[in-house]
Homo-oligomer: A and B are copies of this chain.
Amino acid sequence: MAQAERPLSDHPTAAESADARTTLAGLGEAAVLARIFPRLPAADAALLGPGDDAAVLAAPDGRYVVTTDMLVHGPDFRWEFSTPTDLGWKAAATNLSDVAAMGARPTALVVAIAAPQDTQVDVLEGVADGLRLACAELAPGCGVVGGDLSTSDVFTIAVTAFGDLDGRRPVRRSGARPGDVVAVAGELGVAARGIALLFESGLEAARGTDAHAVARQLRPMPPIALGVVAADAGATAMMDVSDGLALDARRLARASVVDIEFDALGDDQLRGGEDHSLLATFPADVPLPDGFLRIGAVAPGVGRLLVSGSVFDELGGWDPYAQWDGRLS
């Protein structure tokens, strides 16, 4: 909002301490951007990167894949548990996972951040580090091509991710056919165990109990490269398991108008969300690609989920509107 008419606000602390001079308000937008830019990963697909009104990206096969996901302090992450680098990693990973679930190779991200004015600039540097580390580990060649900075009392990060299908058809949720095998790549229920431990006992104690689960909650490790592998192997349907296997499997069953029958699976595996594993269906005569494990089969049906032969209706999952109680700790 252009408000040159309004007087500059008085930031008494800005003159008083070194700490205040390194806040976003103390530095101002241009200086903050100058600190962040060098830490961001470059994108191989960028024909024109950050710094102009918009970026220009290559789409060699004439199409591109797009998804967006916003993380808000409170319902989606908490500074009590996450470092800035954890947050940058998670914001990248959750979006990369949606690109992979289409059978696409992630190419680029744009990132909008709204942060409180008294945020230290090293918080944003840490977020940039997390974006860079996640791209390097999960999707080499993918980078940040643009962004926006604003101010808000609630720290918020919105990432939009892009991908290239390299000539492949996109793998949708609606392509599962009776007789297909149902398979998963990645862990199930681990990130949910992590957040349960964090709420129960706090960061240090939770790490003592199950460091792996806490690490996966704070820095998810979705099997990004396996999205393309599954598509090449002939996957008929695929999706990112973000809200819990049971809930997401029923979404896939409904989109495909089939029933999905799981073999025996534990309750934690069925309900725990945020692992960002890949759920896919393959023709029965196709060897499952390395990294995918068979967990069931597709049957003719009307969009139901069955586990060990019984209809499974208690789906779990997480609805921020209906379920978040507003607590921050």
Please state if B316 and A110 are interface contacts (CB–CB under 8 Å). Answer: no
Closest B residue by C-beta to A165: B56
| A323–B317 alpha-carbon span in the complex (Å) | 41
Contacts of A34 in B (CB 8 A): none
| A318–B6 alpha-carbon span in the complex (Å) | 10
| A113–B70 alpha-carbon span in the complex (Å) | 8
| A4–B172 alpha-carbon span in the complex (Å) | 27
Q: How far is the CB of A205 from chain B (nearest CB, A)?
A: 16
Please state if A323 and B9 are interface contacts (CB–CB under 8 Å). Answer: yes
Given that A52-B173, A53-B102 are known contacts, is A320 also in contact with B29, CB under 8 Å in the complex? yes
Which residues 177-236 of A have a CB within 8 angstroms of B? 191-192, 195-196, 199
| A111–B67 alpha-carbon span in the complex (Å) | 10
Q: How far is the CB of A224 from chain B (nearest CB, A)?
A: 13
Please state if A196 and B68 are interface contacts (CB–CB under 8 Å). Answer: no
Please state if A64 and B57 are interface contacts (CB–CB under 8 Å). Answer: yes
Please give 13 more A-B residue pairs, beta carbons under 8 A apart, in addition to A5-B196, A69-B112. Answer: A3-B199, A4-B192, A8-B322, A9-B324, A29-B319, A52-B255, A56-B165, A62-B62, A64-B64, A68-B148, A68-B160, A70-B114, A112-B160
Contacts of A152 in B (CB 8 A): 72, 74-75, 154, 156
Closest B residue by C-beta to A81: B1
Contacts of A58 in B (CB 8 A): 62-63
5 closest A-B pairs by CB? A2-B273, A9-B325, A158-B158, A59-B59, A54-B67
Interchain CB contact (< 8 A) of A321 among B32, B192, B320: B32
Among A20-28, A283-291, A305-313, the stretch that binds chain B is A20-28
Does A170 reach chain B (CB closer than 8 Å)? yes
Max chain B C-beta neighbours (<10 A), residue from A3, A191, A272 = A3
Residues of A participating in the B interface, judged by any CB pair closer than 8 Å = 1-10, 24-30, 32, 47-48, 51-60, 62-72, 74-77, 98-99, 101-102, 104, 108, 110-114, 117, 145-154, 156, 158, 160-163, 165, 170, 172-174, 191-192, 195-196, 199, 238-240, 243-244, 255, 271-274, 316-326
Closest B residue by C-beta to A73: B152
| A173–B60 alpha-carbon span in the complex (Å) | 25
**17 contacting pairs across A/B (C-beta < 8 A):** A5-B192, A5-B196, A52-B170, A52-B255, A53-B173, A54-B65, A56-B165, A57-B65, A62-B62, A69-B148, A70-B112, A75-B150, A75-B151, A76-B150, A148-B158, A150-B320, A151-B320
Please state if A63 and B72 are interface contacts (CB–CB under 8 Å). Answer: no
Please state if B273 and A318 are interface contacts (CB–CB under 8 Å). Answer: no
Please state if A102 and B322 are interface contacts (CB–CB under 8 Å). Answer: no
Contacts of A55 in B (CB 8 A): 65-67
Please state if A56 and B25 are interface contacts (CB–CB under 8 Å). Answer: no
Interchain CB contact (< 8 A) of A101 among B54, B147, B316: B54
Contacts of A156 in B (CB 8 A): 70, 72, 114, 152, 154, 156, 158
Please state if A110 and B68 are interface contacts (CB–CB under 8 Å). Answer: yes
